Amino acid sequence: MASLIESYEHQYSSLTADITVKIGKLSKTHGLEKQNVTLQVERLFDEAAELLEQMDLEVREQAPKDRQKYQTRLKSYKTELDKLQKDFKRARLGLDSRDELLGLEDIQDSSDQRSRLLDNSENLERSSRRLDHGYRTVVETEEIGAQIMEDLHSQRQTIQRSRQRVEEMNSNLGKSSRVLSGMMRRIIQNRVLLVGMGAMILVVIALGIYFTVKKSQS
């Protein structure tokens, strides 16, 4: 893998050398030629950044004793590439002094800050809308819960009234059953009395006939 990293380093050196040459050429060109050189430099920067990413992956695979060495090199390559990008920006804009470049960067930073503030404001507004929606949902849920509790209370009262009516019906049925039982006992008693009276009448009649026949024979 070390040889692969060294190959990446050679490619990176070639790219940065080409970038340096084209940046120097950029300040001396105008119009369409300057646009073409700008595009070429941007492509070279993309290739260099991609190459550093591949190199970073390879460095992570190195043994611990070699990893620190290559990480130090990689860090210096990234620093160098950042410096070249600033040089490219200055050359592309035709700025001759570092102070002008810093002033431009301050303007860009201010614009970035405004953009971030706007983004934060939009995020806060979206969060506020979500909170309002959540609050309305909670209120609606509470109302639904209160309605459900009221319905359950009403159903409970209905069930209690139905239970009371059933208990009253059971009580009335018990009373009716006791009345019917008493009536049945009286009916049975009356029948027994009637049977007994009938039997007594038959006995009396039989005795009367017997004595009458006996008396006529004598």
Residue 112 pLDDT = 67
Question: Which whole number is the average pLDDT over 73-101?
Answer: 80
**Span of 12-16, 71-75, 85-89, 133-137 with lowest mean pLDDT:** 133-137
3-state SS record for the chain = CHHHHHHHHHHHHHHHHHHHHHHHHHCCCCHHHHHHHHHHHHHHHHHHHHHHHHHHHHHHCCCHHHHHHHHHHHHHHHHHHHHHHHHHHHHHHCCCCHHHHHHHHHHHHHHHHHHHHHHHHHHHHHHHHHHHHHHHHHHHHHHHHHHHHHHHHHHHHHHHHHHHHHHHHHHHHHHHHHHHHHHHHHHHHHHHHHHHHHHHHHHHHHHHHHHHHHHHHC
Percent of the chain with pLDDT over 90: 28
pLDDT band for position 109 (50/70/90)? low
CA distances from 83 to 16, 87, 92, 143, 144 (A): 11, 6, 14, 64, 64
Q: Is the pLDDT of residue 99 over 60?
A: no
Q: Is the pLDDT of residue 208 over 90?
A: no
Residue 88 pLDDT = 93
Residues 56-83: tens digit of each pLDDT: 999 998 888 888 988 999 999 999 999 9
Residue 101 pLDDT = 47
Residue 77 pLDDT = 93
Q: Is the pLDDT of residue 121 over 70?
A: no
Q: Is the pLDDT of residue 158 over 50?
A: yes
Q: Is the pLDDT of residue 14 over 90?
A: yes
Distance from C-alpha of 59 to C-alpha of 12, rounded to nearest angstrom? 15
Residues 29-45: tens digit of each pLDDT: 888 998 999 999 999 99
Residues 126-146: tens digit of each pLDDT: 766 676 665 676 667 777 877
Between 10 and 97, where is the model more confident? 10
